[in-house]
């Protein structure tokens, strides 16, 4: 692989397409919804049609298998012409009356953005008219046509921090900022931090709100989430660890804290795979001044043992990896270090810095994979077939690769809507890496043993003489 990414990563051989077909990403506000669900006693309202909020509720419910309430201002044809301010204010009244939130996130959609709704002005006017003092109403612009759920996630995280953060006295709690990962992944990152005795503020924390234990009683707003008090004190932290190496600076919450309050930023890749997890563990050892805990040493050893066991099978893998950029980089990294050279790497996000990050994998024997940014699943198919891809890694949108071409899909990321347990898929840390490695290897073995007799028959077939 050369230093020139344009030479190393061909985009695609197909003609430019004017429409998206089976998108590789979700819309911008759906990423912001997850962030607000990770804030304590928070509710979210979408300023748009009922169809937008229904789509977001359905997708989240199917993925997390939990009730996910999302309010709507219910715009229709009349408001499209005359404006939706009255609808939004009525929706705010209803949400505050029914849910009694402490934090209320208001998100725009394609419709309200196209109408040119001034969300900040409307919210300010509403608070003044109703004399609202006990609810923090935070507006985030999330036009779906100009971004993906990844960008919506970062925009909401940064917006919430910017709303609360003020100069404060120094303390010992480390800021930890995570991207759009599973509740199981959040719990594992917290466990790793706890293993070194570190105190921290993790945002957003939906590890309980979107994956709650059964208690028999429905809660309109489930307990859990990052407290606004801790968010307000983030400027006093000794440092920020952000898992967002593909996040643009303009959306980076960690960059905001560094620029506005001088909080040093340590920007790390998601700890997916041996190398990336080692990077996090070394950082935590340096910060805490402690030795590697025996538990983590054992987990690392089990991962190394699993890598040695599986390497001979993974060498046959030619994966296509797609989804949100931070996850795509993580899974590209773990595949490469296990001998499964990615053939096609794709993301629906256009400004993800993914190409720059992939250049760090140069020493892992890449064979010039095709890189597609701002892509959809349909655009992935051609290069996947051209490169004889034999396994796909990504969310449920990739099931068409299985249905049309028989390429098995390992489901990771968001959304997973055609299988159970998307909220419990663990990918980070040594344990998550080993779990993913087993899934990858077993998927390859299943395909091998299901087809080897047919392949032998085809190879031994000798045509009759004419």
What domains sit in the chain, N to C, each tagged with a CATH number? 5-19+290-453 (3.40.50.1980), 28-147 (3.40.50.1980), 174-209+222-288 (3.40.50.1980)
Residue 299 is predicted with a pLDDT of 98
Mean pLDDT by 10 residues, the chain (466 residues): 37 51 82 97 96 93 95 91 92 97 96 91 96 96 89 97 97 97 98 98 98 90 97 98 95 97 98 98 97 97 97 93 95 94 90 80 66 89 93 95 95 95 97 98 92 62 57
Is 170:372 a contact under the CB 8 Å cutoff?
no
Residue 357 is predicted with a pLDDT of 85
Is 240:257 a contact under the CB 8 Å cutoff?
yes
Residue 367 is predicted with a pLDDT of 65
In tens, the pLDDT along 14-53 reads 455 555 666 778 899 999 999 999 999 999 999 999 999 9
Residue 234 is predicted with a pLDDT of 98
Residue 459 is predicted with a pLDDT of 61
Residue 2 is predicted with a pLDDT of 32
């Amino acid at each position: 692989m050369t230093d020139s990414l344009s030479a190393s990563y061909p985009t695609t051989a197909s003609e430019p397409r004017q429409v998206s077909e089976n998108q590789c990403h979700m819309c911008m506000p759906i990423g912001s919804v997850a962030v607000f669900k990770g804030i304590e006693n928070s509710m979210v309202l979408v300023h748009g049609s009922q169809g937008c909020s229904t789509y977001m509720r359905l997708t989240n419910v199917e993925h997390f298998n939990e009730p996910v309430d999302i309010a709507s201002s219910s715009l229709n044809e009349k408001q499209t012409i005359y404006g939706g301010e009255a609808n939004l204010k009525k929706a705010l009244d209803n949400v505050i009356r029914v849910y009694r939130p402490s934090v209320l996130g208001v998100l725009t959609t394609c419709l309200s953005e196209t109408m040119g709704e001034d969300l900040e002005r409307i919210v300010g006017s509403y608070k003044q008219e109703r004399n609202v003092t006990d609810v923090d109403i935070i507006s985030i612009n999330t036009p779906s046509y100009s971004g993906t759920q990844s960008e919506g996630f970062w925009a909401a995280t940064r917006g919430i921090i910017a709303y609360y953060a003020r100069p404060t006295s120094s303390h010992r709690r480390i800021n930890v900022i995570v991207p759009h990962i599973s509740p199981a992944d959040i719990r594992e990152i917290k466990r790793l931090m706890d293993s070194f005795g570190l105190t921290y503020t993790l945002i957003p924390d939906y590890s309980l709100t979107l994956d709650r234990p059964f208690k028999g009683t429905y809660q309109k707003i489930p307990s859990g989430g990052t407290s606004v008090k801790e968010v307000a004190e983030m400027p006093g932290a000794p440092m920020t660890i952000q898992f967002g190496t593909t996040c643009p600076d303009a959306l980076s919450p960690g960059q905001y804290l560094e620029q506005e309050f001088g909080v040093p930023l340590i920007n790390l890749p998601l700890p997916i795979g041996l190398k990336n997890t080692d990077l996090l563990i070394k950082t935590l050892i340096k910060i805490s001044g402690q030795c590697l805990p025996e538990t983590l040493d054992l987990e690392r050893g089990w991962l190394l043992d699993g890598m040695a066991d599986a390497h001979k099978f993974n060498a046959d893998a030619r994966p296509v990896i797609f989804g949100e950029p931070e996850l795509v980089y993580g899974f590209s990294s773990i595949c490469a270090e296990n001998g499964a050279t990615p053939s096609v790497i794709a993301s629906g996000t256009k400004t993800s810095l993914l190409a720059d990050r992939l250049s760090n994998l140069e020493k892992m024997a890449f064979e010039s994979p095709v890189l597609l940014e701002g892509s959809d699943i349909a655009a992935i198919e051609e290069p996947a077939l051209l490169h004889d891809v034999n396994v796909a890694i990504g969310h449920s949108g990739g099931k068409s690769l299985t249905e049309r071409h028989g390429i098995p899909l390992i489901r990771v990321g968001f959304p997973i809507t055609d299988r159970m347990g998307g909220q419990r898929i663990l990918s980070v840390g040594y344990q998550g890496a080993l779990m993913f490695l087993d899934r990858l290897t077993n998927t390859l073995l299943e395909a091998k043993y299901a087809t080897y007799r047919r392949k032998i028959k085809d190879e031994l077939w000798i045509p009759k003489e004419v």
